[in-house]
Structure 1
Amino acid sequence: MMGKDYPWRKYLDKFSKLTATTLAASLIASGAGGPGMDKGGKVAEDTPEKTNVMYIVLDDAGFSDLGSFGSEINTDNIDALAENGLRYNNFHTAPVCSPTRASLLTGRNPHAVGMGNVANFDFGEKYPNSRGAIPDEAGFVTEVLAENDYTNFGVGKWHITPTTELSAAGPYERWPLGKGFDRYYGNLEDSSDQFRPELFRDNSAVPLPDAEDYHYSEDIIGNAEQYVTDHISIRPDDPFFMYLGFGAQHMPHQVAEEYIEMYEGEYDAGWDVIRKERFESQKELGIIPEDAELAPRAEGVPAWDTLSEDQKKVYTRFMETYAGFLTHTDEQVGKLVDSLEEMGELDNTMIVFISDNGASFSGGPNGATNQARAYNKLPEDLDEINEKYDQIGSGETNSDYPSGWSQVSNTPFPNFKGSTHAGGIRVPMIVHWPEGIESKGEVRSQFTHVSDITATVYDVLGIEPSGEIGGIEQMPVTGTSFAESFDDPEADTGKNTQYFELSGKRTLYHEGWKAVSQHEPGTDFDDDRWSLYNTTEDFSELNDVADQHPEKVSQLVDIWHVEAEKNGVLPISENFLEGLGNLPEGNLRSRETFVYYPGMSHISESAAPLTLDRNYRITIPVDVEESDEGVLLALGNDKSGYTFYVKDGALHYENHNGADRYKISSDESIPEGKNTVEFTFENTGKNQGTGTLFLNDEPVGEAEMETLPLKASFEGMDIGKDLLYPVSPDYADEENFPFTGEIEKVIFDFEESEHILAK
């Protein structure tokens, strides 16, 4: 592919660019003024040449997934950015997404801005570095650029607001518009269904567009194109910034069948063969050095040749889906780049393309079709998955590939997302900026970190961030510019040291060496053993030389503690998913009583009352007539959740945990007039309890239930209807199944504010 021109370069010779001067002349002729003009309508002589900035972020894509980084997957549009820009093979992120995104958008280290873990967790006052709330002292790149006449657009995944704040009532100060974005459209949570996402525009929840063959990636690109087109059409002289966060390649892997079919048979050889092929391709491309080594197969990943035919059949379908999903994503990137090209804005736009962390192993050994079960660490067996074989990649499943394929994505490195080893934190970065970078198609090997990207943007734009934003004194930007590497492959950027930490896993990079801690849960962190890697000689970080260089280990461990102290990493906690049930004082989910009223907008599951492993009561006063039916309250989707509804005159409660469904129904019809529906749950043990349904204070049925341990669902809560995916198949044919009677309110009462198992 080297040396080829852009695949999207279609119209350059056919149409001339509309320059600012030409537009100014047309505006003057029409009697209008315009951006960059003085009061007389003339183009100001001191108007600087503009540079737009765009961050494009893939989710959970590994180091080798792009064609330009060694993959067999068709990513021609992204590869064209690499061919006409630069590829960085020593780029690092945080091990999971929220810390990476916080670091990217602020130019600071993640713990220093309160995002030491994902935004779903609030570990309380003891761990101020892991409460999911970025302080005002850490101004976003959008806030800085706004002071320099940029208009700021955001589309796609956000996930850097405490998720308990993702309700229609906010608070909004940590939503995109509260952080310097002028327009925003996308999903605010950690992941998104690709066919029926939970969407927000600016500060409002919005319904799913009524579009045939809808796909989320296409939707956000359509909005991105609209934002840019509006801006360039009306204010052509003014620069813009865009943050584009794809839901791809995060679970669920969902895409139209035609994209899956593109890769039919491509992966029949299995993950061992494909990983070796990528490894050799990386050497041919110069992405990895000739002496690089391939990590051994990860623990728990079997040799492909030992698998049964059923295993091979299912596992290849998962990978075909992942590959098709990425090709579809690449096409969307191409559409946006086409738009920039056609409007004459591509060459003066600095595009930085990254993944937010390494590939995920959440799919486990068999892969997954149910996101709720996967995140709750409840693996599906092969027979269950095989029954859904034809549905993998569709909206009927939340697919994720097996960990054997995620190791392929991370070729040549060991380990996965969530680790501070290479497989979790070394990912591709492409920088494309024709007007600012003379070098084309080359590889850069300087150590770089996600916090350095915004620092580099400030550097090349000549911006010195102000000491105050909105009257609030700002923390220093701690990222290091790597702009000198743009046209000098040997440039010393001065980035000598970088710490990493997640849930007790620690790494320190310093002057070509990496120390990685080996921590046993429940033990003292001071007792950790540290591995040591000489990254200048050991590209893949496979050869532990700690025993040969004990003094170097001691040096790096000491530096890690200095950096940890400097960036607010201490104290550290080894908790991770346990944080989903943590309700410290002041958390918006920690109240004992919640009251919701009909007409309330859809809210995220993370902002709805936490019902797992707690004693609680739900009360719903209603007024019904004989023919009334519909949903009273629903949280979740067809993969997990709970719902109250009236159908065929009877009252029903249904709860399912991704494997089993529990349904309670009244034997007699609900009386006409005013009624009170109640449901109580008595916790009888870990992830289990007794549910009882009442009608007008009389029990109408009960069931012993097993509940999910950590997260109830990946779809939120509705009053009086069930948006997006229906919780119960009993009303799946009824769109939203709105209640035709009257709901007075919905009340959740808890015996105590704390999560029972979090005491």
Structure 2
Amino acid sequence: MVIRAGLENSDKKSALNVIYIVLDDCGYSALGCFGSEIETPNIDSLAKNGLRYNNFNVTPLCSPTRACLLTGRNCHSVGVGFVTEIDWGPQYPNKRGRISDRAAILAEILKLNGMATYLVGKWHLVPGHEAASSGPFENWPLSKGFGRYYGFLLGMTDQYTPDLIYDNHRVQKPDNSNYHLSEDLVDRTMEFLTDHISVTPDRPFFLYLAFGAQHEPHQVPREFIEKYEGVYDKGWDQIREERFARQKEIGVIPPYTEFVERNPGIKPWDELTTKERGLFIKFQQTFAGFLTHTDQQIGRLLNFLKSKNKLDNTIIVLLSDNGGSQEGGWNGSINDSAYFNGIQESLDDMFDHVDEIGGPFTRPNYPKGWAQVNNTPFKYYKQNTFFGGTHVPLIIQCPQSIPDPGSIRSQFYHAIDITPTILDLLGIEAPKIYEGVPQMPLHGVSMLDTFTEPHVPSKRKTQYFEMLGHRAIWQDGWVAVTYHEPGVPFDEDHWELYDVNQDFSQKYNVAKKYPGKLKELQEIWWQEAKKYGVLPLDDNPFRKGYKGLQEGRTTFIFYPGMAHLPSSAAPNVTRSSYSITVPIFRTNRTAEGVLIAHGNYSSGYTLYIKDNHLFYEYNYVGTFYKVQSSVEVPVGYSTIKFEFKREMFIQGTGNLYINGQQVGTLYMPRTLPFVISVEGVDIGRDRLTSVSPNYPVPEFPFSGQIERVVIELHNDQEDSRVLKKKKRDFIYININGTMIYL
């Protein structure tokens, strides 16, 4: 009898359950079992009872890694070479924001083989323009092999007021004054599994649990932040040194690893002002508390599985989707709308809100100094193709299959190799045809032999990386890598070379010493790029981005009762003149409330009636422009209108009208150039979080009647293009840490 990985027969193989746990933006050193001072006892227990992989890599961005993980194929090949909010258009088949039908995901394959399939948490594999409640739904989880779904569709959401999807429809969060998304996700996970175990206890299941943590906004109950009071007073330089020493001590980095310098632009901690230190400490306390809180939720799931006698026949894979994020900038951030619009937040203003960090009215992210700590021992960050962006923790717990639990494996593997390993473990072959569509072969290889053979050579010999022109290639312990500056011709990029068999942390660039090896690896990168659909290269998704449902559309008519519409599918009123027209009926003088709102407390606009007057407010990352009608809104039928005329690039004048009569005017010296808000549009109320602090929450629903809301965009983009050429140094957008010139 042949025994593979400790499983004696196919019945035992098929009886295994599978759980993927994906953390977001969690760098290599963030977990306790990978050298951190942050308490993660439940994750550490997985490492104690399983294996840690210290040479595991992913793509340096969320969606592409998830596509690799679930398909077992390279992200460009399956159409997810970038975050899915942006569909690059038909001329870029490698960046369409959805997984190709030629690449069935693990859930589809396991469902085909009789397993139940559940997804809870972040999806991020649907084009942004398809995330509306009207669909289309073919790229939503239930159409990609999952039997049940509860979570959020896009890259991020608020931890206190998330934009939630239950199966194929939007729902409000549970009415709980102490609500937190991570807790809710595990509650729903246990609900799904309780139903499953109660009724079909012998049917194996696949659970994909993808937390919003540790992606910004870093939000967590205050007691978790206070838990780390004083821990980070010593600063990021000393914390990074301590993690590095601890990593050597526990063996997750080789003993020959050398300490790398601070990333360019990060200030030495002892050169910071008292105010900078105080603010930056609070940011890191919040991140640490957020991770400990996430670990607590994972512990709840593990205890549930143990209580239902399912832990011993469940393989658990835990990883991060990329390294620590640089999206907080040099000083951190409490307003992600500022970040996504390239607006520098005032350190003084942030410090004024330091006690609110982690709570429901800030959307925090830590500064780059802490991001490099998160990625110890490596340099750079999420989005970069250096190890700081791609080298992440991986833990696999497989009962009865690992003879030396608690051990470390050092073979190089990639996210594309996880699903082939699971299929190998379960004795399942990936279909050559799925639902009538011929399938591309798996690009990943099985890691299963590493479960029982600690020093077996890796079957992966080569792996390319690419993200917005950043590129790298790994082959047999050599890495060639380039940091790409937006707008610089790709053939002018400066390549570096590292022998990571001898230089684990990528400290020593040996390109000048081994020019032949560098040239060889560059040529291999181009070969791999052609093979896996990486080409054409482009560093600007906004130049040619496909607008999906908005393509060529200038008029939008919305009706009351419409579900929350995410920003990715909403009319884009930035850098445009526009009008909003709302026919209404007020039954009496008490009828008031929101007519339309787009945004949250970070930014956005809202049109509402209060105290018999009409108001328009524009939230420019915390600066409010507000106009009140000079007359009262009449009882009965009336037509409300707001009209904005853009002047120059981001300036303009807004006018309020009631029944065609101008009743207010407002000059706005600044409007948001790129992203109105990460939170979407509501008709007749302001769901989730409020754009304005000047009306009651929750929602402030309009108590009269709305016939419809008509948004009309006016074509004045030509002026915008001319201005872009004149002020090129000013006009850019930050996306995942990259400044992209428009």
Alignment-mate amino acid for residue 200 of structure 2: R
Q: CA separation of 1:688/1:435 partners in 2, compared to 1, >3 Å: closer, same or farther?
A: farther
Which of 675, 683, 686 is the matching residue for 2:649?
686
Which of 618, 621, 624 is the matching residue for 1:655?
618
Alignment-mate amino acid for residue 350 of structure 2: I
Q: Secondary structure at the match of 1:663?
A: strand
Q: Displacement, 1:389?
A: 1.1
1:593 corresponds in structure 2 to: 555
Q: Displacement, 1:614?
A: 1.5
Q: CA separation of 1:753/1:747 partners in 2, compared to 1, >3 Å: closer, same or farther?
A: farther
Q: Does residue 746 in structure 1 map to residue 709 in structure 2?
A: yes
Which of 611, 626, 633 is the matching residue for 2:596?
633
1:602 corresponds in structure 2 to: 564
Q: CA separation of 1:566/1:379 partners in 2, compared to 1, >3 Å: closer, same or farther?
A: same
Q: CA separation of 1:131/1:275 partners in 2, compared to 1, >3 Å: closer, same or farther?
A: same
Alignment-mate amino acid for residue 583 of structure 2: P
1:621 corresponds in structure 2 to: 583
Distance 1:506 1:268 in 2: 36
Matches within 5 A, 1:401-416: 401-416=366-381
Deviations 1:537-590 (A, max 9, x none): 0100121111111111111111111111111111011125x47xx653644454
Distance 1:78 1:104 in 2: 20
Check whether the contact 2:29–2:375 (CA below 8 A) recurs between aligned residues.
yes
Alignment-mate amino acid for residue 721 of structure 1: R
Greater mean deviation of Cα atoms: 700-709 or 391-400: 700-709
1:726 corresponds in structure 2 to: 690
Alignment-mate amino acid for residue 183 of structure 2: E
2:736 corresponds in structure 1 to: none
Alignment-mate amino acid for residue 572 of structure 2: L
User: What is the percentage of aligned positions where both structures have the same residue?
Assistant: 48
Distance 1:244 1:586 in 2: 29
Matches within 5 A, 1:247-286: 247-286=212-251
2:90 corresponds in structure 1 to: 125
Q: Displacement, 1:48?
A: 6.4
Q: Displacement, 1:426?
A: 0.5
Which of 417, 422, 432 is the matching residue for 1:467?
432
1:569 corresponds in structure 2 to: 534
Q: CA separation of 1:46/1:315 partners in 2, compared to 1, >3 Å: closer, same or farther?
A: closer
Q: Does residue 294 in structure 1 map to residue 256 in structure 2?
A: no
TM-score, with length taken from structure 2: 0.93
1:324 corresponds in structure 2 to: 289
Q: Does residue 711 in structure 1 map to residue 678 in structure 2?
A: no
Check whether the contact 2:87–2:548 (CA below 8 A) recurs between aligned residues.
no
Q: CA separation of 1:494/1:365 partners in 2, compared to 1, >3 Å: closer, same or farther?
A: same
TM-score, with length taken from structure 1: 0.91
Matches within 5 A, 1:21-420: 49-420=14-385
Q: Displacement, 1:122?
A: 2.0
Q: Secondary structure at the match of 1:748?
A: strand
2:664 corresponds in structure 1 to: 701
Greater mean deviation of Cα atoms: 653-662 or 411-420: 653-662
Alignment-mate amino acid for residue 685 of structure 2: K
Distance 2:522 2:298 in 1: 41
Q: Displacement, 1:754?
A: 7.4
Check whether the contact 1:589–1:607 (CA below 8 A) recurs between aligned residues.
no
Q: CA separation of 1:753/1:141 partners in 2, compared to 1, >3 Å: closer, same or farther?
A: farther
2:458 corresponds in structure 1 to: 493
Greater mean deviation of Cα atoms: 417-426 or 294-303: 294-303
Q: Displacement, 1:752?
A: 4.0
Greater mean deviation of Cα atoms: 192-201 or 668-677: 668-677
Distance 2:12 2:463 in 1: 39
What stretches of structure 1 of length at least 5 have no aligned partner?
1-44
Check whether the contact 2:575–2:674 (CA below 8 A) recurs between aligned residues.
no
Distance 2:716 2:67 in 1: 30
Alignment-mate amino acid for residue 317 of structure 2: V
Alignment-mate amino acid for residue 116 of structure 1: G
Check whether the contact 2:584–2:704 (CA below 8 A) recurs between aligned residues.
yes
Distance 1:157 1:466 in 2: 26
Distance 1:585 1:603 in 2: 15
1:16 corresponds in structure 2 to: none
Q: Displacement, 1:527?
A: 2.4
Distance 1:201 1:508 in 2: 40
Q: CA separation of 1:373/1:330 partners in 2, compared to 1, >3 Å: closer, same or farther?
A: same
Q: Displacement, 1:126?
A: 2.5
Which of 522, 525, 528 is the matching residue for 2:490?
525
Greater mean deviation of Cα atoms: 200-209 or 429-438: 429-438
Check whether the contact 2:129–2:548 (CA below 8 A) recurs between aligned residues.
no
2:6 corresponds in structure 1 to: none
Distance 1:255 1:734 in 2: 21
Greater mean deviation of Cα atoms: 695-704 or 234-243: 695-704
Matches within 5 A, 1:664-675: 664-675=627-638
Distance 2:600 2:11 in 1: 56
Alignment-mate amino acid for residue 60 of structure 1: D
1:502 corresponds in structure 2 to: 467
Check whether the contact 1:653–1:665 (CA below 8 A) recurs between aligned residues.
yes
Q: CA separation of 1:341/1:351 partners in 2, compared to 1, >3 Å: closer, same or farther?
A: same
Q: Secondary structure at the match of 1:385?
A: helix
Check whether the contact 2:576–2:716 (CA below 8 A) recurs between aligned residues.
no
Check whether the contact 1:676–1:697 (CA below 8 A) recurs between aligned residues.
yes
What stretches of structure 2 of length at least 5 have no aligned partner?
1-9, 725-741
Deviations 1:453-473 (A, max 9, x none): 111111111111111111111
Q: Secondary structure at the match of 2:266?
A: coil
Check whether the contact 2:87–2:547 (CA below 8 A) recurs between aligned residues.
no
Matches within 5 A, 1:531-546: 531-546=496-511
Check whether the contact 2:582–2:707 (CA below 8 A) recurs between aligned residues.
yes
Check whether the contact 1:295–1:412 (CA below 8 A) recurs between aligned residues.
yes
